[in-house]
Amino acid sequence: MVSRRNFFKGAGVAVTAGLVSRVNAATLPEIVNMSGPATQQPSLPASGRPFNPVITLNGWSLPWRMNVGVKEFHLVAEPVVREIAPGMKANLWGYNGQSPGPTIEVVEGDRVRLFVTNRLPEATSVHWHGQRLPSGMDGVTGLTQRAIEPGKTYVYEFVAEHAGTFMYHPHADEMVQMAMGMMGFWVTHPRNPAEHRVDRDYVMLLNAYDIDPGSYTPKVNTMLDFNLWTINSRSFPGVAPMVATTGDRVRVRIGNLTMTNHPIHLHGFSMEVTGTDGGWVPKSARWPEVTVDIAVGQMRAVEFVADKAGDWAFHCHKSHHTMGPMGHSVPTMIGVKQDDITRKINKLVPDYMAMGQNGMGSMATMQMPIPDNTLPMMDGQGPFGGIEMGGMFTVLKVRDGLPRNDYRDVAWYKHPKGKLAYEWTGDKPPVSQAPKMDSGVPATEVTVRKPQSHQH
Nearest residue to 294 (alpha-carbon basis) of 336, 325, 255: 255
Q: How far apart are CA 126 and CA 145, in angstroms?
A: 10
CB of 425 to Cu ion, least distance (A): 38
Of 148 and 231, which CB lies nearer to Cu ion in the complex structure? Answer: 231
Residues paired with 178 in a beta bridge: none
From the list 300-308, 310-318, 338-346, 375-383, the region that binds Cu ion by CB under 5 A is 310-318
Beta bridge partners of 106: 188
Of the pair 113, 318, the CB lying nearest Cu ion is at: 318
Is residue 292 a contact point for Cu ion (CB under 5 A)?
no
CB of 194 to Cu ion, least distance (A): 35
| Site stretch for Cu ion (CB under 5 A), options 27-35, 211-219, 317-325, 425-433 | 317-325
Q: Which stretch binds Cu ion (CB under 5 A): 81-89, 235-243, 312-320, 331-339?
A: 312-320
Whichever of 123 and 299 has its CB closer to Cu ion, that residue is 299
Q: Among the candidate windows 38-46, 313-321, 337-345, 435-443, which touches Cu ion by CB under 5 A? A: 313-321
Q: 399-403: list long-range contacts, CB under 8 Å, 24+ apart.
A: 399/243, 399/244, 399/245, 399/246, 399/309, 400/245, 400/246, 400/309, 401/245, 401/246, 402/243, 402/244, 402/245
Q: Give min distance, CB of 47 to Cu ion, in A.
A: 39
Q: Minimum distance from CB of 368 to Cu ion (Å)?
A: 24
Tell me the window of 25-33, 84-92, 139-147, 315-323 that interacts with Cu ion (CB under 5 A): 315-323
Contact 172, 123 (CB under 8 A): yes
Closest distance to Cu ion from the beta carbon of 268 (Å): 20
Q: How far apart are CA 25 and CA 66, in angstroms?
A: 11
Q: Annotate 253-294 with DSSP letters as a single string.
A: EEEE-SSS-EEEEESSS-EEEEEETTEEPPGGG--EESEEEE
Minimum CB distance to Cu ion smaller for 77 or for 228: 228
Helix (H) or strand (E) holding 203: strand 200-209
**CB of 146 or CB of 267, closer to Cu ion:** 267
- Closer residue to Cu ion in complex, CB, 260/405: 260
CA dihedral sign, ordered 251, 257, 263, 264: negative
Is the Cβ of residue 171 or residue 321 nearer to Cu ion in the bound state? Answer: 321
Tell me whether residue 52 or residue 394 sits nearer to Cu ion (CB atom): 394
Residue type, 196: H
Residue range at the interface with Cu ion (CB under 5 A); choices 24-32, 316-324, 363-371, 373-381 = 316-324
Residues 54-113 that bind Cu ion (CB under 5 A): none
Q: Which of 89, 249, 318, 399 binds Cu ion (CB under 5 A)?
A: 318
Tell me if 316 contacts Cu ion by CB under 5 A: yes
Cα torsion 327, 330, 336, 341: sign: negative
Query: Closest approach of Cβ 262 to Cu ion, in Å?
Result: 3
**In the set 171, 196, 321, 397, which binds Cu ion (CB under 5 A)?**
321
DSSP per residue over 296-336, as a string? TT-EEEEEEEE-S-EEEEEEESSGGGGS-TTSSSSPP-TT-
Q: Report the alpha-carbon distance of residue 128 to residue 184 in Å, rounded.
A: 10
Query: What is the CA 351 to chain-centroid distance, rounded?
Result: 36
Min dist CB 256 to Cu ion, Å, is 9
**Minimum distance of Cu ion from residue 233's CB (angstroms):** 15
The three-state secondary structure class of 348 is helix
Per-position DSSP letters for 90-157, written without gaps between them: EEEEEETTBSSPPBEEEETT-EEEEEEEE-SSS-B--EEET----GGGS--BTTTB--B-TT-EEEEE
Site size for Cu ion, by CB under 5 A? 4
List C-alpha distances in Å: 11 to 14, 97, 270. Answer: 6, 22, 40
Q: In whole angstroms, how close is the CB of 375 to Cu ion at the nearest point?
A: 16
- Whole-angstrom Cα distance, residue 75 to residue 298? 23
Instruction: Please report how close the Cβ of residue 266 comes to Cu ion at its closest, in angstroms.
Output: 14
Among residues 352, 353, 369, 57, the alpha carbon closest in space to that of 202 is found at 57
Q: Taking contact as CB under 5 A, which single stretch among the options 299-307, 321-329, 404-412, 435-443 is the one that binds Cu ion?
A: 321-329
- Of 264 and 301, nearer to Cu ion (C-beta) is 264
Q: Contacts with Cu ion in 250-269 (CB under 5 A)?
A: 262
The region of 126-134, 314-322, 325-333, 365-373 touching Cu ion under the rule CB under 5 A is 314-322
171 or 300: whose CB is closer to Cu ion? 300
Residue 315 as a binder of Cu ion (CB under 5 A): the answer is no
- State the residues that interact with Cu ion by CB under 5 A: 262, 316, 318, 321
